[in-house]
Amino acid sequence: MLNKVSVYFLGSLFLFMMSILLFFLGCFFLINDYVLFLDWEFLSFVSCNMTMTFLFDWMSLVFVSCVFLISSMVIYYSESYMISDKSSVRFYFLVFLFVMSMMMMVVSPNLISILIGWDGLGLVSYCLVIYFQNFKSYSAGMLTILANRVGDVAILLSISWMLNYGSWHYIYYVGMWDYWGIYLVSLVVLAGFTKSAQIPFSSWLPAAMAAPTPVSSLVHSSTLVTAGVYLLIRFSDLLLNVNCLFVLGLSLMTMTMAGLSANVEYDLKKVIALSTLSQLGLMMSILFLGFPILAFLHLLTHAFFKALLFMCAGVMIHCMSDSQDMRYMGGIINNLPFTCACFCISNLSLCGFPFMAGFYSKDIIIEMMTSSMGNFFIYLFFFISVGTTVSYTFRSVNFCLFSGLNMYSCQVYSEDSIMMKSMVVLSLLAIFSGSMLCWLVFSVPCLVFFPFHMKIMPLIFILLGAWIGFKLSSRGKLMLGLIFGFFMSSMWFLTFLSTSMVYGNFLYLSNNYISMMDYGWGEFLISKSPLMVSSLFSRVASFYQYNNVKIFMLIYLLMIVFFII
């Protein structure tokens, strides 16, 4: 066990030190407007040179620093969470490989090397989703990898398309535009939509909850689902030349659908997963409106409080004997006070509570959206998403922390010191990272002036969402129609569209083919006919030879007459 503990501790310490170093390096690059483009020639054979290219600017360095910091806390947290698992060392190396794949994808200005990290994320995420070996995990892993393969195909096609440009270094071409750039942009947007689970590829994100909770904390904060947003941020200069209203509509629908679906779910991890989906829709929407820096800022702040939220949920689930149903979790605040305090901090940051990390990014996103001359449809969907975020947050807090004593009896409630240490760091970041990053990214304060009624609109929707969330979680439940509840819990039927509606008709057709061909007239005609014919001949010959000599002699005489004639 000492070897296992040392592996986790040393890995988390290494990643933590690297994150601090890369953050200060990123700040230096940002202040001095410095970019480092590095070509590493790792193979030279006759006249063939193979190089690996890295791009280090403030954006890639700060994002890798964020990934490393969250990964260090998650790995340290996993030391206690996975202590009873027999394959905990294998789990550690899978997580480490996952983090390295994300780093490769972030620092690559080349589509070929991006594909290495992109495929690495997809394959390792499949191994982590099926880590708990049961039928549900296998189904979720298959849905995850097949949905992500669509994005891999889009990246491969964009690699082929960039042969028209003369180089796979996309960083050379983001500032130019020609008539066939629309095809490259379409493929990149398709890849980003699959990896970040936008409509119609949303169903794999809640299904990936079959992975262990530390993996969910890492996946939903800074690695797998954020890869698509980061890729589109890098290609954002090309998006300025395209009418993005259609993909903007899809992102708005994703944001609204996830928020509404989270309000009818009782699985704690699924509620947090749908919260991630809603925030990804928010990042994509503001990105397509033409504000990539704001999307990147919310990407970083969201990573810190969402990782903390999953860690707190993991402790609660751990103490509830692996039960994830919020209806059994009332009164946990009396037994897990520190975890519940961190849970409230992360939820308040998610809601955009003033002066928490999420406030600095969400508030400026709402203000820039309001001043971007968009239509009323965009305006309404943004504010509905703000309200639904507060609604499902207050609903989950009320269910888990305050609503009576609904918990199982004979439970052991204890807060592990290792888990608490990792949550302390992320709690500080969930409070202070927003203001710190705003001071760094925006050299000049961004002031937006609105009339009083428009300035107070986010607060009105926040209070309305809090009231609806309280009503949804109270014992006198707000009655939702059965069909409406089913429609929302199935993510607007996307789970059926991605699974049974895709292969159900093909299975029905194949079943008919089997019954008609293999078990029907095909088997009778092809498989059984030689046996039946030979059996018939043998029965006739046996009848003639052993039972009726007269008929045998008569046939013999007839054959003689026939030959004579």
pLDDT digits (tens, 9 = 90+) for 258-286: 888 888 888 888 888 888 888 999 999 98
Q: What pLDDT score does 21 carry? A: 94
Q: What pLDDT score does 1 carry? A: 44
Whether the pLDDT of residue 413 is over 70: the answer is no
Q: What pLDDT score does 415 carry? A: 74
How many other CB atoms sit within 10 Å of the CB of residue 60? 23
Closest residue by Cα to residue 143 from 83, 215, 194, 76 = 194
The Cα angle at residue 301 between residues 453 and 326, in degrees rounded to 5 = 85
How confident is residue 477, by pLDDT bands cut at 50, 70 and 90? very low
How confident is residue 356, by pLDDT bands cut at 50, 70 and 90? confident
Of the chain, the percentage scoring pLDDT greater than 90 comes to: 6
How many other CB atoms sit within 10 Å of the CB of residue 34? 12
Question: In angstroms, what CA-CA distances link 412 with 101, 111, 321, 468?
Answer: 38, 50, 9, 33
Whether the pLDDT of residue 476 is over 60: the answer is no
DSSP state of 40: E
Please tell me whether residue 54 adopts helix, strand or coil conformation: strand
Cα 501 → chain centroid: 21
Q: What are phi and psi of 474, to 5 degrees?
A: -75, 165
Instruction: Tally the residues of the chain.
Output: 565
Whether the pLDDT of residue 4 is over 50: the answer is no
Closest residue by Cα to residue 291 from 375, 383, 188, 367 = 367
For the chain, state the CA radius of gyration: 30
DSSP state of 477: P
> 3-state SS of 66-123?
HHHHHHHHHHHHHHHHCCCCCCHHHHHHHHHHHHHHHHHHHCCCEHHHHHHHHHHHHH
Q: What pLDDT score does 486 carry? A: 66
CB 283 within 8 A of CB 298: yes
d(CA 396, CA 414): 21
The pairing of strands 48-56 and 36-45 is antiparallel
Cα 462 → chain centroid: 26
Q: What pLDDT score does 478 carry? A: 45
How confident is residue 61, by pLDDT bands cut at 50, 70 and 90? very high
What pLDDT digit, counting tens, does each position of 425-469 carry? 888 998 888 888 888 888 777 777 888 888 888 888 888 888 887
What pLDDT digit, counting tens, does each position of 503-513 carry? 666 677 777 77
Q: Which of 211-225, 240-254, 342-356, 479-493 has the lowest mean pLDDT?
A: 479-493
CB 311 within 8 A of CB 422: yes
Whether the pLDDT of residue 521 is over 70: the answer is no
**What are the b/e assignments for 116-136, b being 16+ CB within 10 Å?**
ebbbbbbbbbbbbbbbeeeee
Q: What are phi and psi of 272, to 5 degrees?
A: -70, -35
Whether the pLDDT of residue 372 is over 60: the answer is yes
Residues 384-400: what's their mean pLDDT?
86
The domain locations on the chain are: 132-491, 520-564
Q: What pLDDT score does 69 carry? A: 92
Q: What pLDDT score does 62 carry? A: 92
Which tokens is 363 given? 């508030």
DSSP state of 48: E
What pLDDT digit, counting tens, does each position of 171-218 carry? 888 777 777 788 888 899 999 999 888 888 888 888 888 888 888 888
Burial of 218 (0-12, 13-18, 19+ CB in 10 A): buried
Is the torsion defined by CA of 198, 203, 206, 210 positive or negative?
negative
What pLDDT digit, counting tens, does each position of 100-121 carry? 989 988 998 888 888 888 888 8
Q: Which of 74-78, 392-396, 494-498, 534-538 has the lowest mean pLDDT?
A: 494-498
d(CA 93, CA 327): 35
State the chain's mean pLDDT as an integer. Answer: 82
Whether the pLDDT of residue 493 is over 90: the answer is no
Which tokens is 424 given? 């302390």
Is the torsion defined by CA of 296, 299, 303, 309 positive or negative?
positive
How confident is residue 361, by pLDDT bands cut at 50, 70 and 90? confident
d(CA 291, CA 283): 9
